[in-house]
Chain A
Amino acid sequence: MLGKTDKSAVGFVVAALVFFFIGGILTTVVPPLVDKSWSKPFENNDPSKGPTGKLVQYTPEQLKGRAIYVREGCWYCHTQQTRTLLSDVKRSGWKGVDSPISTPDEFVYDSPHMFGTKRTGPDLSRVGGKYDTQWHRTHFRNPRDLTPGSVMPPFPWIVDNPEEFTALVAYIQTLGRSKNWRPDNDYEK
């Protein structure tokens, strides 16, 4: 079949599309049909099966904050996935308690997804609840005031806009909170 495709443009087009669609369909359309956890929101009431909790839809304010996160390109430098690596579980942990790994059912309401590809700054998949509003205000105004050596840009136009700042912090505080994993000595508990 392929021997003639260098003479027949029609034969070429058919073969090129068939080759492409075999892999294309098997890796994009089929997986969500096979793995239901991709679309079923996380919910667990049985402690013996791991962390309990329930994934809930974002509030309008949190969605507004999420849109700011997208707009400012936070996702170019911060991933949102605690991978199945020991170091990720430790680094996403808090006050000596390891974080649970990220699972597909925790991200069902995310669009655009914010998994990210690059960690210029730390992963944020479990950052929710770790730092209070005042910390975020100082940090967004100038990250180096709290973390010397940081290369994160300052965001004065967000801090100076109370509506945007409150929304962004509201979104950040949701990250990784669907699973109840946080330590007992956390200031929020």
Chain B
Amino acid sequence: MPGQQQVSAARPYGGPGSISPVESIHEDTTAKWFMLSAITYFFIVGIIALTIAAKFVWPQLLGTVSVLTYGRLRPLHVNGMLFGWLLAADMGLAYYIVPRLCGVKLWSEKLGVATAVIWNIIVLGAVVALPLGYNKGWEYGELPLPLTALVVVAWVMFGANIFGTIATRKYEQMYVSLWYIMGTVLWTAFVYLTGNVAVYFTTGVNQANLNWMYVHNAVGLIFTPIGLALAYYFIPKASNTPLYSHKLSMVGFWALAFVYVWTGAHHMLHGPISQWLQTIAITFSLMLLIPVWTVVYNFFATMKGQWYQLRENVPLKFLMSGVVFYLLTCFQGPMHSLRSVNAIVSKTDWIPGHAHMAVLGAFSFFAIAGCYYAIPRLFRTELHSAPLANWSYWFLMIGGLGFFVTLWLGGFWQGWQWNNPSIPFIDTVRALKPVWTVRFFSGILMFLGITTFLYNIMATVLGAGSSHETAARPISA
């Protein structure tokens, strides 16, 4: 087994530390457009994020302007981060990874660029529509119908390009990142249609069940598999170490494929939905520990003897911190689904702490690492500043931890107070004020991290054209 896994992990990669001849076949226009627009939206939507965090501390802030009220900006924050930043960055990195793992050019660069254009129209459309109050009223499914339709069109174009590239691949055996990306393409299609189209034909609890199937699997079967595809590709690449086990990665993948989709109803525990469905959701939520621990074990085992690289290697810092956050968030998730724990933490501020650890701490960290790794290579240059990249890591890390930990503590405390009905509700709101203040200042640190990330990437890209002699130079990791 060790021999085989070394081959399968090492073969798709070019020679370490240099541009292989294979590298020069890639045009990568699509990958560049997706990544650069995603990073820009990360910054812009970060401003929205800070604004709504500030509104918890100063509720009158911008309060008389309807388009800037909390209920209009929150969906823009959520959709902007999920679709404008994270999914776009993930797609851009998929356009980078897939041709390289297949040893061929992207199936159609023209189709890819058209997809990037549509994706930008979707995000800009959301920036206009959501503050104006065009909100379909389903969580994660807020985008107005025309934009929803464009998402479907763009996704089909993305899928055609991915599968087209894979169908024309040179290497027969597909590395694990390819399965995860293919899985994402397939599952997202059905999950998205469930949460944005099927809901129209239902009402009440039936509709909520479909909505939560989508909400849960937006994370579980969209961001998780494509995020893990990045981690499986970039951890061996950034550390220049073969993946520990091909077979183990397979166990993790098929366990995820089977288990995740069952768990949507855990969003309505104790709520008005059939008890037996709640129990099924709880059971499968606990089974999620199997794929998660399998994947995390594989990553940790890959790093055995390589941990010293974390001192200097910023992409690897983001990747391995992301793995730790993934492990933690996916331990929290199954635990929240236990009825006793759920009775305390559900609907409290604990939950945004948990959700941000998944989407920012784990999956955004993977995408940031991918961008730091791929963008200098795409532009045949070196990263503008390694120390600045390190600063962006620490800003995001400390800000992120401040955000997660204070919301967990505050949310748990809030949940205990709610369970004592003699405490008036408003007292439980007042009690959270210090927590929300710390959250806001943690948000400022996170925003500094995003800003330095954006600046570093843009300086890299803009500097690439001006120094031609670097183009021929080998790239160091």
Contact = CB atoms under 8 A, between A and B. Distances in A.
Contact of A150 (B186, B213, B265, B429): B429
B274 A83 contact: no
Q: For chain A, which range describes its interface: under 10, 10 to 19, 20 to 34, or 35 or more residues? A: 35 or more
A45 B467 CA distance: 82
Given A72-B71, A110-B203, 20 more contacts: A9-B163, A13-B186, A19-B257, A23-B258, A72-B69, A76-B71, A79-B347, A84-B271, A90-B421, A104-B204, A107-B208, A109-B203, A110-B207, A111-B203, A113-B205, A113-B208, A117-B347, A144-B59, A149-B427, A153-B63
B182 A6 contact: no
Contact of B272 (A19, A73, A101, A150): A101
A15 B182 CA distance: 12
A16 B137 contact: no
B110 interface: no
Nearest to A149: B430
17 contacts: A6-B174, A6-B179, A12-B179, A16-B187, A23-B258, A28-B210, A32-B202, A73-B74, A73-B135, A85-B270, A108-B204, A113-B211, A115-B272, A120-B349, A120-B429, A153-B63, A154-B63
A74 B257 contact: no
Interface in A71-103: 71-77, 79, 81, 83-88, 90-91, 101-103
Contacts of A23: 258-262, 284
A118 interface: yes
A119 interface: yes
Given A5-B179, A84-B270, A112-B136, A32 B206 contact: yes
B167 interface: yes
Interface of B: 55-56, 59-60, 63-64, 66, 69-72, 74-75, 133-139, 163, 166-167, 172-174, 176, 179, 182-183, 186-187, 190, 194, 198-200, 202-211, 213, 221, 246, 250, 254, 257-262, 264-265, 267-268, 270-274, 277, 280-281, 284, 343, 347-349, 351-352, 418-421, 425-427, 429-430, 433, 436
Contacts of B258: 19, 22-23
Nearest to B174: A6
A106 B418 CA distance: 24
A175 to B, nearest CB: 14
A24 B172 contact: no
A118 B432 CA distance: 14
B378 to A, nearest CB: 26
A153 B182 contact: no
Interface of A: 2, 5-7, 9, 12-13, 15-17, 19-20, 22-24, 26-28, 31-32, 34-35, 38-39, 70-77, 79, 81, 83-88, 90-91, 101-104, 106-122, 143-144, 147-157
Contacts of A22: 258
B346 to A, nearest CB: 8
A13 B167 CA distance: 12
B139 A117 contact: yes
A38 B186 contact: no
B138 A112 contact: yes
A102 B208 CA distance: 14
Given A27-B261, A154-B64, A9 B166 contact: yes
Nearest to A98: B421
A70 B176 CA distance: 42
A175 B239 CA distance: 57
Contacts of A20: 186-187, 190, 221, 257, 261
B204 A110 contact: yes
Contacts of B420: 87
B60 A28 contact: no
Contacts of B187: 16, 20
A15 to B, nearest CB: 8
A72 B74 contact: no
A133 to B, nearest CB: 21
